[in-house]
Amino acid sequence: MVIVSVALVPALCLLAVVSARALWLRVSSKASRKPVFPGPSPLPIVGNILPSERVWITLSAIGEKYGRVEERHALSRLIPNSPPVGPIFSLKLLSTPVLVVNSSTAARDLFELRSANYANRPLPKIVQMAGFDRGVALEHDPARLRLGRKVMHSVIQPRVIVEFRDRIQHYLAIYLKYMIESPDRFVQHAKLLLAGVTLEMSHGYEISGPNDVYLGQAEILVKNFSQASYAGGHLVNWLPFLSYLPAWLPGMGFKRMARQWREHYDRVAGEAFDYAKSEITDGTARPSMVQKALADMSQDGIPEDIVKYSAAQVYSGGADTTASTIIAFILMMVRHPEVQSRAQAEIDTVTGHTRLPAFADRAQLPYVDAVLAEVLRVLPPIPAILRQPENDDIYEGRLIPKGTMMIENIWGMLHDRNVYPEPAAFRPERWLKADKQDIRHPLNVAFGFGRRICPGRLLAEELAFTAIALLLSSFDISCAHDDNGDPIVPAPEQTNGSIIFPLPFRCHIRPRNDRAQERVEEFIRAHT
């Protein structure tokens, strides 16, 4: 979140903005006499000061301190010495009112049961300047969003994913091949796996390998997208008028950065789209989102630019989230060898040591499925999502004014100690008997809520589960050692941004035995 530097803004302009915003809030809401949500008192002018790094952890801690008074009292009667809870609390960042939602129950009540009012994601100014609002992930116009999601659903519905399963097996085989040849590059291999699958499904493009030119450009796009969509990281998001100031003023470097991001986004999206169109013209196109959308465009009335940018965001907004989950799984296996052994035993029982597991085995591998769920809970790839109500709303007697910035704190929900005892502990057994329809199940939280739920959830689950099962069946994952021979146990910490990864760590990844390596080699020969 932003660390405010007042020197960047003329004091009179800032005071005018704050005063105008406060006046608007007082007179605009018909329900202004309703109680508001509690929260820490803001400082004059600058509001609440939050860290710029991993703010979701701070928001979770604040929520525990500023829980609703009556709810704390009710909980203390039931559970003596229980910590306070903060399902929703308020902040002010400069002149912007903010509500933080730390509870999956409250998120369901608002973002699913009242989804029509909360379908919009606020557009951070830097996102608009960079052009990332063009595409499904951050599209603000409801009509264009519906069309974009329709385009995306052409390849991510369950019945359509089946049509791509052979190609998914192809990329999984390449992934295993690289994991045998250079296991120390496990981060790059996970990203390559997801890049291969998503670029083929979106554009029909088959990457040539780790040094593929388009792959490199797509990775830059992901990095730029993550930095831009992390709303709190840019002062211009909270003081949009800064975007109109001359670029030569001190502190205006964000304008140059946004322009570069926009130019790169246009170039990458355009080149990929043109590639797909040329393949269609030549009659050599593989099935893909672009291919299907262009074939149906005339009857569906979908503008070409919606197809182009929605297809680009299949990769920029989706590939890294699943890669992050696979890398987080490896981290958790390094830290929890007992979990790894139990999961491997379950797989061996199902496969009989005669084959590698497949996605079709998921129902017979409940512990492996529980491992995936717990990885998503402890190290979610998307820590928070922004929302914005279209109209005034009342939730449990308290006012949510129209236009309020709302932070859907996914990380905080998944680490709520009142829902998940000892939330920092990695315990897959939590989910062995859990109801997958329960709103508190990680698979129902990590992908968001309501109309803004991740449209690629089913594909992400399939890829993550299958990759995890294949890794468990084929490899032993263990700690690296220092120069004294002592194990190096990596910390379960993550990077910053709107899509986050485990911090870099070292480990050892080796085939479990000769027979396991033979099965991998057979799989590679069969699918490449």
The per-residue pLDDT for 232 is 63
Two structure tokens written together for 344: 């491997």
Which token pair is 56? 């979701």
Q: Residue 202 in contact with residue 271, Cβ under 8 Å? A: no
What local confidence, expressed as pLDDT, does residue 296 receive? Answer: 73
Per-residue pLDDT of the chain (528 residues; tens, 9 = 90+): 443 333 333 333 444 444 444 444 444 444 456 788 888 888 998 888 888 788 999 999 888 876 544 444 443 333 344 333 458 999 998 888 999 999 999 999 999 999 999 988 888 899 899 999 888 877 878 788 888 888 887 777 788 888 899 999 999 999 999 999 999 999 999 999 999 999 999 999 999 888 888 888 888 988 888 888 875 668 888 788 889 888 888 888 999 999 999 999 999 999 999 999 999 999 999 999 999 888 876 656 788 899 999 898 887 766 789 999 999 999 999 999 999 999 999 999 999 999 999 999 999 999 999 999 999 999 999 999 999 999 999 998 899 999 899 999 999 999 998 899 999 999 999 999 888 889 899 999 999 998 878 888 899 999 999 999 999 999 999 999 999 999 999 999 999 888 899 999 999 999 999 999 999 999 999 998
- Residue ranges covered by each domain of the chain: 6-133+387-413, 142-374+447-477+501-527
Can you read off the two tokens belonging to residue 365? 């591998």
SS3 for 275?
A: helix
Q: Kindly report whether the global pTM for this prediction surpasses the value 0.85.
A: yes
Identify the CA nearest to 36 among candidates 113, 105, 98.
98
Instruction: Write out pLDDT tens, residues 265-287.
Output: 999 999 999 999 999 999 999 99
- 26, 18 Cβ separation under 8 angstroms: no
Measured distance CA(528)–CA(375) in Å, rounded: 30
Strand-pairing partners, residue 89, are: 100
Provide the pLDDT for residue 155. Answer: 79
Measured on CA atoms in the order 61, 51, 232, 378, is the torsion positive or negative? negative
* CA 355, 358, 364, 367 torsion-angle sign: positive
Q: How far is CA 465 from each of CA 160, 359, 503, rounded to the nearest angstrom?
A: 18, 7, 22
The CATH superfamily of 142-374+447-477+501-527 is Cytochrome P450 (1.10.630.10)
Give the Cα separation of 489 and 507 in Å (integer): 9
d(CA 135, CA 137): 6
Cβ burial, residue 374 (10 Å; 0-12/13-18/19+):
buried
Burial of 40 (0-12, 13-18, 19+ CB in 10 A): middle
**Residue 219 to residue 198: CA distance in whole angstroms:** 12
- Count of residues making up the chain: 528
